[in-house]
Amino acid sequence: MPGRLRRIAVLDNVVEAQLLGTELTARGIPHLMRSYHDSAYDGIYQFMQGWGHVEASADYQVEILEILNGLSHAPADSEDDTGK
């Protein structure tokens, strides 16, 4: 059984959070996405600190960081450098 949840990585935006959450769910990795949004500050804290973070067991930390790194370095589209 996985251990306690801990903060694994800060996420930059909602798109990154959604992509990561979808991939973690598809792989069966238990996790929690925590948004930093606070209506009292109308999103100012979230703007300055990042969208939020992902929490999971330390057992999954390496795998989650690899997935996140892959999302950050994924090509925007399938075109090569020639634009074709």
Give the sheet arrangement for strand 32-35, strand by strand: 5-11, 52-57, 32-35
C-alpha 8/C-alpha 23 separation (Å) is 15
Mean pLDDT, rounded, of the chain: 83
- Kindly report the CATH number that applies to the domain delimited by 5-72: 3.30.70
Give the pLDDT of residue 37: 75
Say whether pLDDT at 9 is over 70.
yes
- For residue range 30-69, list pLDDT tens digits in order: 999 998 877 666 666 666 677 899 999 999 999 999 999 9
For residues 11-32, average pLDDT: 95
Question: Hey, which residues does 9 pair with through a beta bridge?
Answer: 54
Q: What percent of the chain has pLDDT over 70?
A: 71
Per-residue model confidence (pLDDT) at position 1: 44
- Cα atoms found within 13 Å of the Cα of residue 27, Cβ hemisphere only: 14
pTM of the predicted model as reported, rounded to 2 decimal places:
0.75
- pLDDT at residue 73 in the model: 77
Apex 18 CA angle, 16 and 19, nearest 5: 65
DSSP 13: S
